[in-house]
Amino acid sequence: MDIDQLRQLDAIATYGTISAAADELRMPQPTLSRSIRRLEQELGHDLLLREGRHVELSEAGRLALEYVRPILRDERLMRDALDRLAASANALRIGTVAPAPLWHMTAMLVERFPGILLSSETIAQHEVERLLFNGTISMAISTSEMKFPAFCSCPLMHENLYVALPLDHPLAHSKAVTMSQLDGEMFLLFTTIGFWRELCDTMMPHSRFLVQEDREVFEQLLRTTPLPFFTTDAPRFDLDSIGHHHAVIPITDDAVHVTYHLVVRADATDKARKVFDWMAAQPIPSSADMSRVSSSRAV
């Protein structure tokens, strides 16, 4: 008796006929029939009641199935666990407070560490310390340098926030604006922008946000929207592609000029430490360097 025979019995019970089960298992019907016969001989019981082409489980077959399905479930769980183990052996889980530094880091690591798998999740700044300590993440991208003995950190990149205002907006010809000047406006906003959303809520408590979850739809809306939206100088989104219906204005508040840091535990795994050390040795791109790669990124 092998796991394939148990899987075959389960398929017959699930799909009702040997032919349907054979189609699902992608095997010839006679081969499936012979395999079930061997299983019956090994167990010493008829598992199927056969009348012409019609089959159904016998009482012994139904009893056997009660034991078969937990075995198949455990086998699937075992395979999933082994797959996760194999993946985790070469994977780094990164928690990031914003999308742009993760894009930047991923682009840098692809060629240098082609075998490493990166998985990521967006986290809040206040979660960085806890998630690193409990091992939920291998590394973190933080807006804080995290100067604690338990952590090692290095600067990763800068990102500066701008506002894109319709050309007929009263502030569209300003050299710079503040968040307080923008407070009260309604903005088009993309949903997965990390800590930038909390910053907008905090610094513009009287503004409203039309939030779009689909990136493609959001980028299409940018081409026609009469609403203001935010953009940054991180290389991801080509602002030229949305036309010339908005003026991009710098924002002067200190809070919107961010330096991201890559953080690992001092006792990080060899793999995480190797990536961290390599990233720490790389020069931080300047705003001019970022702009040469791409124009502003809409958020």
Q: pLDDT tens-digit profile of 93-127?
A: 899 999 999 999 988 888 888 877 788 889 999 99
Domain boundaries, position 207: 159-256
Read off the pLDDT of residues 114-162 as tens digits, 9 standing for 90 and up.
877 788 889 999 999 999 988 888 899 999 988 888 999 999 999 999 9
Do 138 and 249 lie in one domain? The reply is no
Give the chain's radius of gyration (CA, Å).
29
Among the listed residues 161, 120, 182, 144, the one whose alpha carbon sits nearest the alpha carbon of residue 250: 161
The verdict on residue 292 lying in a domain is no
**Model pLDDT, residue 148:** 85
CATH code at 25?
1.10.10.10
Do 13 and 95 lie in one domain? The reply is no
Do 170 and 252 lie in one domain? The reply is yes
Do 35 and 144 lie in one domain? The reply is no
Do 37 and 183 lie in one domain? The reply is no
Is-contact 162 250, C-beta < 8 A?
A: yes
The verdict on residue 183 lying in a domain is yes
Do 140 and 269 lie in one domain? The reply is yes
Do 226 and 166 lie in one domain? The reply is yes
Among the listed residues 142, 139, 146, the one whose alpha carbon sits nearest the alpha carbon of residue 125: 142
Place of tokens 């394939």: 4
The verdict on residue 294 lying in a domain is no
**Model pLDDT, residue 186:** 95
Read off the pLDDT of residues 254-298 as tens digits, 9 standing for 90 and up.
999 999 999 999 998 888 899 999 999 999 876 544 443 334 456
Rounded distance between C-alpha atoms, residue 140 and residue 260, angstroms: 10
Contacts of 148 (CB under 8 A, 6+ apart): 129
Label residue 236 by pLDDT band (50, 70, 90): low
CATH code at 102?
3.40.190.10
Read off the pLDDT of residues 1-21 as tens digits, 9 standing for 90 and up.
788 889 999 999 998 888 898
Q: Which residues pair with 231 in a beta bridge?
A: 162, 298
Burial class (CB in 10 A: 0-12, 13-18, 19+), 105: buried
The verdict on residue 290 lying in a domain is no
Rounded distance between C-alpha atoms, residue 206 and residue 186, angstroms: 9
* Predicted TM-score (pTM) of this structure: 0.66
Do 18 and 79 lie in one domain? The reply is yes
Q: Within 10 A of 11 (CB to CB), how many other CB atoms are there?
A: 19
Is-contact 143 261, C-beta < 8 A?
A: yes
Q: Total structural domains in the chain?
A: 3
